Amino acid sequence: MNPNINKIDLLSNNSLDLSKEYWDEERNEKPKFRFDLGLELISKDNKALKELAEFKQLLNRYPNLVKESSDILSIACGNCWLEFNVLSSKKYNSFTGIDFSYHRVHKYAEIAASKIIQNCNVIDLIYGDFFNFNSEKKFDVIILSKAFHHFDEPLRLLRKLNSMLSEDGIIFIMGENYFLRRVRFYKFLAHFPKLILRKSYRDVSSLFPSYNDLFPPSYTKGDINYSYRDYCDLFTRSLFKHERFIFKEKPSTQAFILKK
């Protein structure tokens, strides 16, 4: 079954081009993309394969989740390589991918869709900000791969996801930063010389560093580091039950499966 591929643009009339924020380095991405599509057999890192194995492991927990009637949504989908590979052996109704990086979603994702054959009726590739995306449709599977920690309004994101997920649907949040105990300990030790060098040692509260003090956000990359307690709090406030999975192999990551 050859899917209809629709390219939808939610951003062109928007004066604020969000793709210029930190996702516009198409040049840097080309070699990785060639590997992703099997055009190059050697990759300098096997991160993509690690992510694929982890996603397969999570999806295998729900062998009956993806059905012929399933509607699947990937948020901040990038080139969709991961999703299309994991889904390539399944039949499903539709796939919607949304990202505000033009080249990822409107150039590479289309190539990925045609190279990695998809057994579905329709693929919508949307260039836009997820917060501007509305759909009547409820989704059975929602995927956020290396995406959740890039959203600066996580609670708003989760509440929107809750309204878009079907009653027995499942959300996969993958590729969240996870710091091994050893790394957390080094960061803790490094905190005190930093305090003194920055002459902020008089602030008594900084003697008990918060997670955020140890792992501050990176505004250039758009990365926010949440503690496990932060995740629990966000999931509870958006009325989700969750399960957590830790992948310790380098680069260590964590994943969450959410249900209503």
Instruction: Please list, residue by residue across 3-27, b when 16 or more beta carbons sit within 10 angstroms of its beta carbon and e when fewer do.
Output: beeeeeebbeeeeeebbeeebbeee
Q: How far is the CB of 89 from ligand SAM (least distance, A)?
A: 19
3 binds ligand SAM (CB under 6 A): no
| Sole window of 76-84, 107-115, 185-193, 195-203 interacting with ligand SAM (rule: CB under 6 A) | 76-84
Q: How far is the CB of 72 from ligand SAM (least distance, A)?
A: 13
Q: Which of residues 110-139 bind ligand SAM (CB under 6 A)?
A: 129-131
Q: How far is the CB of 149 from ligand SAM (least distance, A)?
A: 9
Among 3, 23, 94, 142, binds ligand SAM (CB under 6 A): 23
Please, how many CA atoms are within 13 Å of residue 171, restricted to the half-sphere of its CB? 28
Number of residues that bind ligand SAM (CB under 6 A): 18
7 binds ligand SAM (CB under 6 A): no
Where do contacts with ligand SAM occur on this chain (CB under 6 A)? 23, 76-78, 82, 98-101, 104, 129-131, 145-147, 150-151
